[in-house]
């Protein structure tokens, strides 16, 4: 009992514990979720963002397992990148496991990975931990939180949840287990803060069904519904309503087809024989018997919906009479792409429905009244708002205070900060490496802030490069070339460029022997460029000798 | 009566007539608004975006005047850039004129510009046009739409409006004039589509006052309220509530001070003597007597609020106990910056209120029920949804159809498209140049899509430049340098760079005489770079001779 219990959120800056959380007792540690993030607008060229997993890689001999909460990429999508450097067994429910396997196969890691299927009533004993899954309702079936029993007490990780009492597939959040845990005593709760800004109670998925029914009632032509490929429950709703209205459904796009097939095989997606159809089969049907279910709600340029909106889809051409439904909200940062897609859908003459106009989507996350219910049910001694940006964590803290929790028992901590418990209480421990690791092309972690700064600077005003060949003996200019991109439109810049050339020649002729010619040129050329254009492209000088 | 009447929206792609609309009868033309746009995320380095004003510049001898609807930058801010090439008198109400003058002074155009002040009851006769301003309620006082009477009929341009019946400064939309115009007969209506997605009726500004009163009642420390510097009505509300609660108000930041001073001088901002205070004076007051009114609602890095949030403001340090109110919505595209600012405000320990949490802001634009009212009041023969992105225009069209307007009388047209009326009806005319003109540094129009494409490409993976000095006689490499930025982190790339060097030397040695060495090098180096890193930086090759 002299060992310490540590809780360490990893992942995004200000995003505590959405993608990865370490729970450690003594040396032994388990990891809840191993998800990836998507680059923000100031990370140009970055393909993916991983939680900084240095701490796992450095302590791999004490790493007992990854416990995955659900099948969304931001909760398991980093496994393919992290496992090679920090291998450990993976624990997941059946559908989550299926989705993990799809990704690990792409990374050629399926054979080497050890995966255990977890049932809702299991208790997993591993090292000093006893771990119980807790069924939660979310926008994908088979989601679980975890109660982690340790010698110092029980830590409850809520995962992403809402208290939807009429979900699509009958899996409500296990209120009874949460109540039992609360009565038995919870040391610390980590609870999802995503919707801490939102008053009230998140509407049930059944609202979406009602809206879809109204859409199907009125639509005279084809119905195209876009949603996340991982939103299996939403796809199920589409299938249910389509069957009710005697339409056939095509799942279009690679990820939609793959996930659909997997979920179907595992029994998480149900349809009557003959409901699902290929694009070819749909082509032969009257418009009012067709539903197309595809991706593209975030305006992703390669998605089926965006290609339809642009008129670039090889098989599906939109036409007036089509009804298009975007059944998702824009993820912050994607608004411009989503708006452009909506504009283009309208330009094709389609009738378009999206969340601003009708409840065609509901959030998968608990709103403020539900957050209160979770806090009440589990009645934790300590509370760590989790899975949100800083303002959401801070608001979740204010909410817990309103419920009567003492301020000093609530910890708003950021990526890499360590919360340390022992028999006497809790304190902040030494930090571990937090924040991001970037994936770009084939490289993991080989670009960082410095490279991104260069990219941002280049995007702002391009570059001007002065290539100079100077005679080693006489010091005279033997050849000179200016290269520029992203600075000014070439035909308009001829005058400035020839002025720059003259300027460089004059400077070389007048240069002091032994002076730092290239540094001086860089500065003076930069000044002249700015004087003429009020822009500051990156200026580089290469002086080669011949 | 053989002349044609033309309506031509200019400005943003898919943003019809927000920033600039031409109304032309025969050759004679007037322009409603001359506003600027802000660059979108795929226009890196661009400072400002102007409506394409080529058509005005080419027909300047027929240009009779600019009629400005209100004092927001996106309606008059392009005058300083456009006037030198397309000069004409400016017509504006008193406050709008004051704000225009502030900007023209910065452009050193105040002396040369001809500006006429317009009163709400004026009728301006100019060429074939008779123009009546129509008072409208918007988020700035002294806003007007225009009725343009022409020999072929009356065109009503709504400007940006809402039917706020309890506005801050008593200026409601002139419903009676709109009704009179409707009864007399309106040929065409252009009406603001910004909120065509929003059901119901936009709440009155008085809602904001009620929220502010609740905030002031509860706040024990300083109150910091951020809003647009041009939102004079909101600043007035802050002053009103501050006086009610016996607090003094500091207007902080250059644009906030300048606009405040101008509005005060013209009588559009009223305060009791002693209410307004300098930062120095505020420093000497107890916290519960202080209000700071500043800019920064869009997360602009140089704004007062963002510098407070980052702890970079030289005079104002936030502390726990402060209440911060963001009284504006994020403009689409600014969400990330706004969220970062909110997060940092919470990190400083402030209590923060924003639109997601409380009605601290209301839109200045009419919602769907109000749009219907405008259509009913003016009962136009033809309707042109205006001032919105394509989806909003299309929804506004659907709304007019619901009111019984025939589809074929409603025109969703885009920037540069011409609508042509004569005695027989209406048709699409030949287009004029539409879209954007970019301002970057000192250049207007000297960068376009090509340069932006280069910038985007550079931001994605940087560049690799091969500088080669080849002996003119022997063809052997005399010197070689690789320059790269924004591609990979330098220490990690040493191996790839030296492989590239060897590769280039080998290629030069093996080069066919007469072949295009530099083009071949560019391609093969690009391939090798991609093979090693799965990235595609811009590759350029310079072969100089010595």
In a domain, B176, yes or no: yes
Q: Strand B443-444 relative to strand B436-440: parallel, antiparallel, unpaired?
A: antiparallel
In a domain, B449, yes or no: no
- Looking up residue A529, the CATH number of its domain turns out to be 3.10.20.580
At residue A442, the pLDDT reads 80
- Residues B318, B285 within the same domain: yes
In a domain, A450, yes or no: no
Q: Quick check: B1 contacting A, CB < 8 Å?
A: no
Sign of CA dihedral B230, B232, B234, B235: positive
- Residues A307, A370 within the same domain: no
Least confident of A36-50, B227-241, B307-321: A36-50
- Residues B184, B237 within the same domain: no
At residue B16, the pLDDT reads 67
Shortest CB distance from B332 goes to which of A40, A339, A483? A339
Residues of chain A with C-beta less than 8 angstroms from the C-beta of B464: none
Are B260 and B330 in contact, with CB atoms under 8 Å apart?
no
Residue B169 has pLDDT above 80, yes or no: no
Residue B333 has pLDDT above 90, yes or no: no
Name the strands in the sheet holding B323-326, side by side, starting at the edge strand that comes first in the sequence: B248-252, B290-294, B223-226, B323-326, B351-353
To the nearest 5 percent, what fractions of chain B are helix, strand and coil? 35, 25, 40
Reply yes or no on whether B47 is catalytic: no
Residue B223 has pLDDT above 60, yes or no: yes
- Residues B238, B283 within the same domain: yes
At residue A182, the pLDDT reads 98
Contact A469 B389 (CB under 8 A): no
Q: Quick check: A538 contacting B, CB < 8 Å?
A: yes
CA nearest to A354 within chain B:
B197
Are A299 and A341 in contact, with CB atoms under 8 Å apart?
yes
CA nearest to B349 within chain A:
A394
Which residues of A are catalytic, by number?
A: 192, 365
**How many residue contacts between A and B have a Cβ separation below 8 Å?**
210
Q: Quick check: A474 contacting B, CB < 8 Å?
A: no
Whole-angstrom distance, CA of residue B505 vs CA of residue A216: 66
Q: Quick check: A475 contacting B, CB < 8 Å?
A: no
In a domain, B453, yes or no: no
DSSP A278-313: -HHHHHTS-GGGEEEEE--TT--TTSHHHHHHHT--
Residue B39 has pLDDT above 90, yes or no: no
Residues of chain A with C-beta less than 8 angstroms from the C-beta of B458: 455, 458-459, 462-463, 485-486
Residues of chain A with C-beta less than 8 angstroms from the C-beta of B40: 336
Using pLDDT thresholds of 50, 70 and 90, give the confidence band for residue A446: confident
Residue B417 has pLDDT above 90, yes or no: yes
Residues of chain B with C-beta less than 8 angstroms from the C-beta of A198: 356
CA quadruple A253, A257, A263, A266: dihedral, nearest 10: -160
**ipTM field:** 0.87
Using pLDDT thresholds of 50, 70 and 90, give the confidence band for residue B14: low
DSSP letter, residue B117: E
Interface of A with B in 493-532 (CB under 8 A): 493, 532
Best residue of B44, B504, B540 to probe chain A, by most A CBs closer than 10 Å: B44
Residue B15 has pLDDT above 80, yes or no: no
Using pLDDT thresholds of 50, 70 and 90, give the confidence band for residue A443: confident
> Among the three residues A313, A328, A353, which one is the final residue of a domain in this structure?
A353
Shortest CB distance from B197 goes to which of A42, A44, A356? A356
At residue A445, the pLDDT reads 79
Could you give the angle at the alpha carbon of B195 between the alpha carbons of B374 and B197, nearest 5°? 110
At residue A13, the pLDDT reads 59
Tell me the CB-side half-sphere exposure of residue B217, using CA atoms within 13 A. 6
Q: Quick check: B332 contacting A, CB < 8 Å?
A: yes
Using pLDDT thresholds of 50, 70 and 90, give the confidence band for residue B117: very high
Shortest CB distance from B467 goes to which of A467, A492, A538? A467
- Residues A376, A508 within the same domain: no
Using pLDDT thresholds of 50, 70 and 90, give the confidence band for residue A113: very high
At residue B381, the pLDDT reads 97
At residue A495, the pLDDT reads 86
Domain that holds residue A312: 205-353
For the stretch A251-267, pLDDT in tens is 998 889 999 999 999 99
What sections of A135-291 are H helices per DSSP? Answer: 175-184, 205-218, 232-244, 254-265, 279-283
Query: Which tokens sit at B80?
Result: 């300083």
CA dist A203 → A54, A206, A375 (Å): 39, 8, 19
In a domain, B29, yes or no: yes
- Residues B380, B525 within the same domain: no
Q: What is the mean pLDDT of residues B42-47?
A: 87
Using pLDDT thresholds of 50, 70 and 90, give the confidence band for residue B490: confident
- Residues B124, B177 within the same domain: yes
Backbone φ, ψ for residue A341 (5° rounding):
-65, -45
- Looking up residue B343, the CATH number of its domain turns out to be 3.40.50.10710
In a domain, B231, yes or no: yes
Averaged confidence pLDDT in chain B:
92
Whole-angstrom distance, CA of residue A88 vs CA of residue B469: 53
Q: Quick check: B461 contacting A, CB < 8 Å?
A: yes
- Residues A96, A123 within the same domain: yes
Using pLDDT thresholds of 50, 70 and 90, give the confidence band for residue A517: confident
Q: Strand B28-32 relative to strand B63-67: parallel, antiparallel, unpaired?
A: parallel
CA distance A467 to chain B (A): 7
- Residues B280, B311 within the same domain: yes
Residue A1 has pLDDT above 60, yes or no: no
CA quadruple B163, B165, B168, B171: dihedral, nearest 10: 70
Could you give the angle at the alpha carbon of A484 between the alpha carbons of A481 and A485, nearest 5°? 155
DSSP A4-69: -EEEEEESSTT--SSSEEEEEETTEEEEE----B---TTSTT--EEEE--HHHHHTGGGEEEEE--
Tell me the CB-side half-sphere exposure of residue B421, using CA atoms within 13 A. 22
Tell me the CB-side half-sphere exposure of residue B229, using CA atoms within 13 A. 21
Burial of B146 (0-12, 13-18, 19+ CB in 10 A): buried
The structure tokens 């670039």 sit at A312
> Among the three residues B303, B320, B353, which one is the final residue of a domain in this structure?
B353
For the stretch A196-251, pLDDT in tens is 999 999 999 889 999 999 999 999 999 999 999 888 889 999 999 999 999 999 99
The structure tokens 């817990």 sit at A400
Query: Which tokens sit at B97?
Result: 């004129």
Using pLDDT thresholds of 50, 70 and 90, give the confidence band for residue B13: low
Query: Which tokens sit at B39?
Result: 């660059």
DSSP letter, residue A143: E
CA nearest to A470 within chain B:
B546
Count structural domains, chain A: 3
Shortest CB distance from B486 goes to which of A454, A483, A533? A454
To the nearest 5 percent, what fractions of chain A are helix, strand and coil? 35, 25, 40
Q: Quick check: B89 contacting A, CB < 8 Å?
A: no
Q: What is the mean pLDDT of residues B469-494?
A: 84
Backbone φ, ψ for residue A18 (5° rounding):
-65, -45
Using pLDDT thresholds of 50, 70 and 90, give the confidence band for residue B168: confident
Of the candidates B186, B124, B184, B130, the residue with the CA atom closest to the CA atom of residue B421: B186
For the stretch A418-429, pLDDT in tens is 999 999 999 999
Query: Which tokens sit at A299?
Result: 């305006």
Whole-angstrom distance, CA of residue B304 vs CA of residue B294: 6
Of the candidates B142, B145, B173, B143, the residue with the CA atom closest to the CA atom of residue B159: B145
Best residue of A455, A464, A468, A534 to probe chain B, by most B CBs closer than 10 Å: A455
Are A19 and A8 in contact, with CB atoms under 8 Å apart?
no
Least confident of A75-84, B34-43, B294-303, B522-531: B34-43
Are B282 and B214 in contact, with CB atoms under 8 Å apart?
no
Q: Quick check: B465 contacting A, CB < 8 Å?
A: yes
Sequence-ordered strand ranges (E) for A265-410: 290-294, 323-326, 351-353, 380-386
Interface of B with A in 258-287 (CB under 8 A): none
Residue B100 has pLDDT above 90, yes or no: yes
Contacting residues for A430 by C-beta, under 8 A, at least 6 apart: A418
For the stretch B133-154, pLDDT in tens is 999 999 899 999 999 999 999 9
B74, B164, B192, B322: the active-site residue: B192
**Residue-wise burial string across A438-447, b where 16 or more C-beta atoms lie within 10 A, e elsewhere:** bbbbebbbbb
- Residues A229, A293 within the same domain: yes
- Looking up residue B180, the CATH number of its domain turns out to be 3.60.15.10
At residue B30, the pLDDT reads 98
> Among the three residues A299, A328, A353, which one is the final residue of a domain in this structure?
A353
First and final C-alpha spacing in chain A? 74
Best residue of A15, A486, A504, A539 to probe chain B, by most B CBs closer than 10 Å: A486
- Residues A491, A349 within the same domain: no
- Residues B24, B150 within the same domain: yes
Residue A164 has pLDDT above 60, yes or no: yes
Identify any residues that bridge with B412 across adjacent strands, giving them in sequence order.
none
Query: Which tokens sit at A49?
Result: 């963002």
Residue B510 has pLDDT above 90, yes or no: no
Are A378 and A180 in contact, with CB atoms under 8 Å apart?
no
Contacting residues for B469 by C-beta, under 8 A, at least 6 apart: A469, A479, A544, A545, A546, B477, B478, B479, B480, B544, B545, B546
Contact A483 B465 (CB under 8 A): yes
In a domain, B455, yes or no: no
Identify any residues that bridge with A466 across adjacent strands, giving them in sequence order.
A482, A541
Residues of chain B with C-beta less than 8 angstroms from the C-beta of A535: 45, 440-441, 443
Q: Quick check: A540 contacting B, CB < 8 Å?
A: yes
For the stretch A451-494, pLDDT in tens is 999 999 999 999 999 999 888 788 788 889 999 999 887 777 78
Q: What is the mean pLDDT of residues B496-513?
A: 87
CA distance A478 to chain B (A): 6
In a domain, A432, yes or no: yes
Q: What is the mean pLDDT of residues A273-291?
A: 95
Query: Which tokens sit at B56?
Result: 């005005």
Range A427-433 contact pairs with CB under 8 angstroms and sequence separation of 24 or more? A429/A4, A429/A6, A432/A8, A432/A10, A432/A54, A432/A55, A433/A52, A433/A54, A433/A55
Contact B45 A461 (CB under 8 A): yes
Interface of B with A in 5-64 (CB under 8 A): 14, 40-42, 44-45
Whole-angstrom distance, CA of residue A49 vs CA of residue B462: 19
CA quadruple A372, A375, A381, A386: dihedral, nearest 10: -90
Shortest CB distance from A333 goes to which of B336, B544, B546? B336
Burial of B284 (0-12, 13-18, 19+ CB in 10 A): exposed
CA nearest to B533 within chain A:
A442
Percent of chain B with pLDDT over 90: 76
Q: What is the mean pLDDT of residues B398-417?
A: 95
């Amino acid at each position: 009992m002299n060992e310490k219990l540590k809780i360490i959120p990893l992942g995004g800056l200000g995003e505590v514990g959405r993608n990865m959380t370490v729970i450690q007792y003594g040396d032994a540690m388990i990891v809840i979720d191993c998800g990836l993030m998507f680059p923000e607008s100031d990370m140009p060229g970055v393909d993916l963002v991983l939680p900084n997993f240095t701490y796992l890689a450095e302590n791999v001999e004490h790493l007992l397992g990854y416990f995955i909460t659900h099948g969304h990429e931001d909760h398991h999508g980093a496994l393919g990148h992290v496992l090679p450097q920090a291998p450990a067994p993976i624990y997941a429910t059946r559908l989550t496991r299926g989705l993990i396997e799809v990704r690990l196969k792409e990374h050629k890691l399926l054979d080497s990975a050890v995966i255990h299927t977890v049932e809702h009533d299991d208790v997993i004993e591993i090292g000093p931990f006893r771990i119980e899954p807790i069924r939660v309702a979310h926008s994908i079936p088979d989601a679980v939180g975890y109660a982690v029993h340790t010698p110092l007490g029980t830590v409850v990780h809520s995962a992403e949840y809402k208290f939807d009492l009429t979900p699509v597939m009958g899996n409500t959040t296990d209120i009874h287990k949460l109540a039992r845990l609360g009565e038995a005593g919870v040391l610390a709760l980590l609870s999802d803060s995503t919707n801490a800004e939102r008053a009230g109670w998140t509407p049930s998925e059944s609202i979406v069904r009602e809206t879809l029914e109204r859409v199907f009632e009125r639509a005279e032509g084809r119905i195209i519904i876009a949603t996340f490929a991982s939103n299996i429950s939403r796809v199920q709703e589409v299938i249910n309503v389509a069957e009710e209205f005697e339409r056939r459904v095509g799942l279009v796009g690679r990820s939609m087809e793959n996930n659909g097939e997997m979920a179907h095989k595992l029994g998480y997606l149900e349809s009557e024989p003959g409901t699902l159809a290929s694009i070819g089969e749909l082509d032969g049907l009257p418009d009012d018997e067709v539903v197309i279910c595809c991706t593209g709600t975030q305006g992703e340029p390669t998605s089926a919906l965006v290609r339809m909106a642009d008129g670039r889809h090889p098989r599906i051409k939109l036409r007036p009479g089509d009804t298009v439904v975007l059944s998702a909200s824009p993820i912050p940062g994607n608004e411009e792409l989503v708006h452009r897609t909506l504009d283009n859908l309208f330009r094709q003459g389609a009738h378009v429905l999206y969340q601003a106009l009708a409840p065609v989507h509901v959030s998968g996350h608990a709103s403020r009244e539900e957050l209160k219910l979770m806090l009440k049910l589990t009645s934790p001694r300590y509370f760590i708002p989790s899975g949100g940006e800083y303002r959401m964590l801070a608001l979740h803290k204010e909410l817990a205070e309103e419920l009567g929790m003492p301020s000093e028992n609530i910890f708003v901590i950021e990526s890499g900060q360590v919360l340390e418990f022992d028999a006497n209480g809790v304190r902040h421990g030494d930090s571990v490496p937090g924040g991001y690791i970037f994936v770009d092309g084939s490289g993991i972690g080989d670009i960082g802030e410095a490279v991104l700064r260069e990219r941002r600077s280049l995007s702002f005003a391009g570059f001007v490069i002065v290539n100079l060949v100077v005679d080693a003996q006489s010091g005279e200019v033997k050849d000179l070339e200016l290269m520029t991109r992203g600075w000014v439109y070439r035909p308009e810049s001829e005058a400035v460029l020839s002025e720059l050339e003259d300027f460089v020649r004059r400077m070389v002729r007048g240069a002091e022997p032994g002076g730092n010619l290239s540094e001086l040129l860089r500065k003076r050329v930069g000044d002249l460029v700015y004087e003429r254009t009020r822009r500051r492209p990156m200026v580089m000088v290469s002086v080669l000798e011949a």
